[in-house]
Structure 1
Amino acid sequence: MARIVLVEDDLTFSRIVKTFLEKNGFTVQTSTKVKEAQTILGNEKFDLLIADFRLPDGTGMELLQWAKGKFPQLQVILITNYSDIRIAIKAMKLGAFEYITKPINPDELLATVRESLAQKVQVQPSPSDQSSEKIEYIKSTSPSPYVIGDSLEAQKLEKHIQLVAPTDLSVLVLGETGTGKELISKRIHELSGRKNGPFIAIDCGALPKELAGSELFGHVKGAFTGALDNKTGHFESASGGTIFLDEVGNLSYDVQIQLLRAIQERKIRKIGGNKEIEIDVRIIAATNENLLSQAGDGIFREDLYHRLNEFTLHATPLRNRKADLEQFVKGFLAESNQRLSKSVQGLQTDVWEVFYHYDWPGNLRELRNIIKRAVLLSQGNLIETDALPAELVNFQSHESPFQVPADYHSPLPARGNSFSAGDYKSQFQEQEKELIQKVLQDTRFNKSKTAKILKMDRKTLYSKMEKYGLE
């Protein structure tokens, strides 16, 4: 019987969740504060931690970081308000299994709990030292298979990937959280000469600072308190393949020095060891931070930045590649149907309108979670708006449904100049023509996608295309 710690300061809500989970066969111990939960976790063994983000003496994020440092095999689910969506996504980068938003749907909670507990931890002997142990999570950090996309931004990215993949250049992938930087890195690996070697992804933000050097480069027995066996680091394990350093800006200055030496000399030295070990790995790093700015502030080494940045790729935010939204939704629907044993076929028209209108601050990771939740709640073949979070449906974008080009200048005249209604109409029509043409190019003249992005029906789009000679 799985054992769960529930940390929630709303006593009524906590009692409801506890009763519900116990009725479904789980043992649940409750807490209202971070420190109290730490004491409970330290005294007994648990399988899952469910924590509210906002707590009286701290946050669920702080508890997550502490728990993952002390008990790496413990699964963590974070409870948030929808307004905390960016924080929740960051929590997943720090090792949370999932986040769920209030108000909580019981079926969603139960499915998430069961799914998290199904993700077991394997302990395997290290290939180079049978006496040591290597812990590996059986958890996919990829939101979906890589989607090339039809938008101009996506096509440009794929072209650059095709160019850099066959080389051994170090690549720096830049982009917001949740934009698929790991997927881009896997794509590079799969198109490279190292595709038959290992691809090892490391979330530098989730590495305990005092153990980061050991995790990356390994250690010898007795190197420090708790080093009971020799340990093979990720760099040695990735030999012949690719190592992906996500959120590389989170590495401490000391570890940055070790990483720089590994890149320059293609050799590593285990913590506490004297022997140099040659490595043959390709390094791909990713960040949502401005590393050059951090270098100027003395936080990140500038020489390391230039070593990592032999070639740069930019992961485009989902709000800027809505021409690819249908492909992503299709992939996430298939994934969710398989995981939840459902057969949802698609989205209602009004759901598509919500999706195209929304800004997606959490990018692909947020879209994936929304789709999974909606598939779980849907009773029919199509997802309807009542399966979406209310905040998503009621979202008010500050932008026009038309994406105004960055180089567009307002047609309004300088004060004192005459400007007739006819002039204004002419300027508006010219602007509308340019916008429609731009979206058509982004979607490679896919009329259905263009109509959805511009929030008009296809008949209206065809009429305007004929009017402006855009056939």
Structure 2
Amino acid sequence: MAKILVVDDDPSFNEMLSSYLRRQDHEIEQAFSSQSALAAFKTKSIDLILTDFKLPDMDGLELIRIIKDEKPDMPVILITNYSDVRTAVTSIQLGAFEFITKPVNPDEMLLTIGQALQEKTTSTAAKPKTIKKASGSPEYVIGTSPQSLDLWQHLQLVAPTKMTVLILGESGTGKEYAAKMIHEKSKRAKAPFVALDCGVLSKELAASELFGHIKGAFTGAVQDKKGAFENANGGTIFLDEIGNLPYEVQVQLLRVIQERKVRRVGSEKEIDVDVRIIAATNENIAVSGSQSEFRTDLFHRLNEFELKIPALRERKEDLNEYIGLFLRQACNELEREVTGLDAEAQSIVQHYSWPGNLRELKNVIKRAVLLSTGELITPAQLPHELANEEVLSTTDTIADNAASIQNAINGTTGTDLKALQEKNEKQLILETLEKTKYNKSKTAKLLNIDRKTLYNKLTKYQIEI
């Protein structure tokens, strides 16, 4: 049982929250203004503060600022409206543990309160601009760019629902982190979160990994095995690189989504499953669907709600926050005391295009921390290619694209848009292969696709290396 201070100037809403929390065996102290809240905070033994943003004498942000100045480890949860996402972000920057939105979801509120009370015993003051989850969970950067704030707002909206979510973004943008956050903010947070990379599944093994198999179903099946859907029952399954899923397995997945039943490979028995599906891809599978590579009906089933994670180069305003996060993580893991980057190193990372996105940035920072001999990272600890990146001008890029399109048009007959698109794609792959001296890993990186997708396209276009 914890003693919670509920701060809201609306008597009916304050009483409703207080009564609900009392029924959950918490001891409640009520305050109807910031000043009365501060008086209770200073004179009574409070474990957690739940405050509304709009208060008559000072707003919730100022109240958080004062509380955190006096007692940095006091967990504060802000109640705000969906439209006040910038306010909510500011509250996290000031040290609030989390914010919840109106109308308040009781289960979400209880979960957040439980996480805050659990962390209070072990955590120090909250770090700015990141959300800290329960022990063992990753930190999440919200960001300050318009794209990141929109993403955060949409994530908050969809997380408490039952909707299937499709996350779009280049490789390394953090699609799995977004999926985990949706899970942690949902009513399924205490149930399993199972992630499966469809990009590495062969046609033969995909059905077994997803739906399981029985003993003797195929050579090597020496015992019964549960699939990812059964393991995620009651919780969330994250299907990464869904665009690489074999067509035959897409049919089976569609059936599972429609009927909420799975059938293990080799079995006739159907097993009920209650699983929320979050899928992700770095390809435009809506276009692929029209080309019969990805089922259109499956795409629409998965795309009840779409989240687009922008590339790091499109939101450079967030770069320093991610550097700070990865720097802390690397220092903790490697037991170093590096505090930041010097001016020259900072300039290099700011001007680099980060084709590998957050994954590349994290690796670069970790490597630099390991190599660093002082408190600051210098250019000597950064990979050589960062400072010597060959960047095409906008004019050259436009000219190259126009030439490629014109070449494709000249080589096709009529107005076959599909043939035009395929020829243009094949030409781009061939040109990129030549530039990288037929290095498939570098080619996939430059094209912003994974190696499995590249291999599939090499087979499709009959490109031999």
Task: Give the TM-score, by structure 1 length.
Answer: 0.54
How many angstroms apart in 2 are the aligned matches of 1:394 and 1:211? 42
Any conservation in 2 of the 1:378–1:387 contact (CA below 8 Å)? yes
Query: 1:306 maps to which residue?
Result: 300
* SS at structure 1 position matched to 2:140: coil
Cα-to-partner distance string for 1:404-431 (whole Å, 9 max, x where unaligned): xxxxxxxxxxxxxxxxxxxxxxxxxxxx
Q: 1:208 Cα deviation (Å)?
A: 2.8
Cα-to-partner distance string for 1:40-82 (whole Å, 9 max, x where unaligned): xxxxxxxxxxxxxxxxxxxxxxxxxxxxxxxxxxxxxxxxxxx
Any conservation in 2 of the 1:171–1:312 contact (CA below 8 Å)? yes
Structure 1 segment 123-138 matched on structure 2, within 5 A: none
What is the one-letter code of the residue matched to 1:170? T
Any conservation in 2 of the 1:143–1:368 contact (CA below 8 Å)? no
Query: 2:321 maps to which residue?
Result: 327
Query: 1:172 maps to which residue?
Result: 166
Structure 1 segment 211-290 matched on structure 2, within 5 A: 211-290=205-284
Q: Which has the higher helix share?
A: 2
Any conservation in 2 of the 1:243–1:284 contact (CA below 8 Å)? yes
Closer/same/farther in 2, CA of residues 350 and 151 from structure 1, 3 Å limit: same
* SS at structure 2 position matched to 1:210: helix
Closer/same/farther in 2, CA of residues 338 and 399 from structure 1, 3 Å limit: farther
What is the one-letter code of the residue matched to 1:299? E
How many angstroms apart in 2 are the aligned matches of 1:308 and 1:169? 9
* 2:189 is the alignment partner of 1:198: no
Aligned counterpart for 2:180 among listed residues 150, 169, 186: 186
Structure 1 segment 312-391 matched on structure 2, within 5 A: 312-391=306-385
Q: 1:396 Cα deviation (Å)?
A: 4.6
* SS at structure 2 position matched to 1:162: helix
How many angstroms apart in 1 are the aligned matches of 2:143 and 2:209? 35
Aligned counterpart for 1:149 among listed residues 131, 143, 147: 143
Count how many residue pairs are aligned between Structure 1 and Structure 2. 259
* SS at structure 1 position matched to 2:271: strand
How many angstroms apart in 2 are the aligned matches of 1:363 and 1:302? 29
User: Tell me, which stretches of 5 or more residues in structure 2 are unaligned?
Assistant: 1-135, 395-465
Closer/same/farther in 2, CA of residues 143 and 321 from structure 1, 3 Å limit: farther
Q: 1:200 Cα deviation (Å)?
A: 0.6
Query: 2:286 maps to which residue?
Result: 292
Cα-to-partner distance string for 1:180-200 (whole Å, 9 max, x where unaligned): 001111111111111111111
How many angstroms apart in 2 are the aligned matches of 1:190 and 1:349? 38
* SS at structure 2 position matched to 1:284: strand
User: Tell me, which stretches of 5 or more residues in structure 1 are unaligned?
Assistant: 1-141, 401-471
Q: 1:170 Cα deviation (Å)?
A: 0.5
Any conservation in 2 of the 1:358–1:397 contact (CA below 8 Å)? no
* SS at structure 1 position matched to 2:239: strand
How many angstroms apart in 1 are the aligned matches of 2:390 and 2:158? 40
How many angstroms apart in 2 are the aligned matches of 1:299 and 1:160? 29
Q: 1:268 Cα deviation (Å)?
A: 0.6
How many angstroms apart in 2 are the aligned matches of 1:336 and 1:390? 20
Any conservation in 2 of the 1:143–1:365 contact (CA below 8 Å)? no
Structure 1 segment 111-130 matched on structure 2, within 5 A: none
What is the one-letter code of the residue matched to 1:368? K
Stretch moving more, 387-396 or 295-304: 387-396
* SS at structure 2 position matched to 1:211: helix
Any conservation in 2 of the 1:144–1:332 contact (CA below 8 Å)? no
Any conservation in 2 of the 1:218–1:234 contact (CA below 8 Å)? yes
Stretch moving more, 375-384 or 204-213: 204-213
Q: 1:209 Cα deviation (Å)?
A: 2.4
How many angstroms apart in 1 are the aligned matches of 2:145 and 2:373? 33
Closer/same/farther in 2, CA of residues 175 and 354 from structure 1, 3 Å limit: same
* SS at structure 1 position matched to 2:307: strand
How many angstroms apart in 1 are the aligned matches of 2:165 and 2:239? 10
Stretch moving more, 168-177 or 385-394: 385-394
Task: Give the TM-score, by structure 2 length.
Answer: 0.54
How many angstroms apart in 1 are the aligned matches of 2:245 and 2:315? 31
How many angstroms apart in 2 are the aligned matches of 1:147 and 1:264? 35
Structure 1 segment 407-418 matched on structure 2, within 5 A: none
Any conservation in 2 of the 1:145–1:183 contact (CA below 8 Å)? no
What is the one-letter code of the residue matched to 1:365? R
Closer/same/farther in 2, CA of residues 219 and 300 from structure 1, 3 Å limit: same
Percent identity between the two aligned chains:
57
If asked which structure has higher relative contact order (CA below 8 Å, sep 6+), I would say 1
Q: 1:145 Cα deviation (Å)?
A: 2.7
What is the one-letter code of the residue matched to 1:202? L
CA RMSD of aligned residues (A): 1.6
How many angstroms apart in 2 are the aligned matches of 1:385 and 1:372? 14
Q: 1:378 Cα deviation (Å)?
A: 0.5
How many angstroms apart in 2 are the aligned matches of 1:390 and 1:278? 53
Any conservation in 2 of the 1:170–1:307 contact (CA below 8 Å)? yes
How many angstroms apart in 1 are the aligned matches of 2:267 and 2:389? 56
